Amino acid sequence: MKRILYIPSTMNGGVYYYRVYTPMKSLVEMYPNEFDITINNTYKFTDQEKDEIGKNFDIVIVHQALYNPEIQDAFWNTIIYCKKTSGTRFVLDIDDYWDYGKTHPYNNVCQFFAYPLKMMMNFKLFDYVTTTTEYFKSVISEYFPEERIVVFENAISLEDTQFNKEKNKSDKLRFGITGGSSHTEDIKQLLEIPKYLTDKQLNQIELVFCGYNAEDAEVCEIDDNGNITKKEKMDIKNNWWYTTENQFKSSFKNYKRIETRSIDNKEYGSIYRNIDILMVPLLNNKFNRCKSELKFIEAGFTNTAVISSNVIPYNNFGENEYDCLFVKENTPESWAKTIKKILRDKDYVKIMAERLNSKVTETRNLEDITNKRAEFFKNI
């Protein structure tokens, strides 16, 4: 039996759900006699913990492996120590590009903690890298041997009840946005769509904006080691979510705000009950190209049609005018033209959604991806 330790970067949210919780849960359920799995992100990588990790685990998987300065060196020393003393295999799981880029709202954090430099050291120490798409694998292979990079696509279990085909009734065609504040620049291309639609067209549609509660947002100050030294409530007028929502509310005649619930508690997927067509705006930059086609997967499992920017990773997965629609340009006018196309043939929405559902249930179901994971872990 292989003893596996997974050290996640977080213990909640979508990253944890798709890269840690459901994959490891599925692995144990499908292969109960072959894998014993522990999930723990509380390590400080002390000398005692180094010994425990080396003695108790055959494989250690670490998500991102980017730590605060006071932890990072101890973590790297743990890898070196365990590989020398016990032959433990270390697997780095990456689902986001490590250099955020200037348009990303958290780029200052990325540079402050030197994520790009730290990732280069990770590549020198880890035995294997796992990631989400073949494209991202090609990017990683510029820094890490390609033969030791394995793709485990993001996936949803066929038995995951929160992602189902149930839709709440509406007399409007509902266009949804599910991206959070990290998509600040991406979502800007949607703000002025109503300028290019007639009153009649606006009356036929509803914009559904899904996200977090702006009233709970906080401003934090951190020291050089990344520790929070001060925390206070943010002025709601300075909150990205609040200002963006007000722009949508003032321009779309029909507007609905949905606060997203916890994916860990099986509630997040219910947002798709109020969306007929998911809009996926992405700028064509390296950070976005290295993301996975996750929004297509969620939409497909919930029988939701998709309009997307014509960029990687989505145009590597979807087929334009078959199981999705791609906008020609990342402009509000181009998005409006695609919306008009749908309004002229509303039945096409159902056809696209059904085709996407067939594709994702066949190629992005967790059960099949679990078999791939099992084969890999058995052989390292």
Q: How far apart are the first and last CA of the chain?
A: 13
Return the domain boundaries, the chain.
2-155+365-378, 173-363
Q: What CATH class has 173-363?
A: alpha beta
CATH number for 2-155+365-378: choose from 3.40.250.10, 3.20.20.70, 3.40.309.10, 3.40.50.2000. 3.40.50.2000
- DSSP assignment letter at 285: S
- d(Cα 157, Cα 173) in Å, to the nearest integer? 28
Instruction: Give residues with Cβ within 8 angstroms of 144, minimum separation 6.
Output: 123, 126, 129
Supply the pLDDT for residue 49.
97
Is a pLDDT exceeding 80 seen at residue 159?
A: yes
Confidence of residue 238 (pLDDT cuts 50, 70, 90): confident
- d(Cα 227, Cα 70) in Å, to the nearest integer? 10
Is a pLDDT exceeding 80 seen at residue 179?
A: no
In this prediction, what percent of the chain has a pLDDT beyond 70? 98
Comparison of pLDDT for 232 and 226, the residue scoring more = 232
Supply the pLDDT for residue 337.
97
At residue 253, what are phi and psi to the nearest 5 degrees?
-65, -40
Is a pLDDT exceeding 90 seen at residue 143?
A: yes
Q: Is the pTM here over 0.85, yes or no? A: yes
Q: Mind listing the pLDDT tens digit for each residue in 244-286?
A: 889 999 999 999 999 888 898 899 999 999 999 999 999 999 9
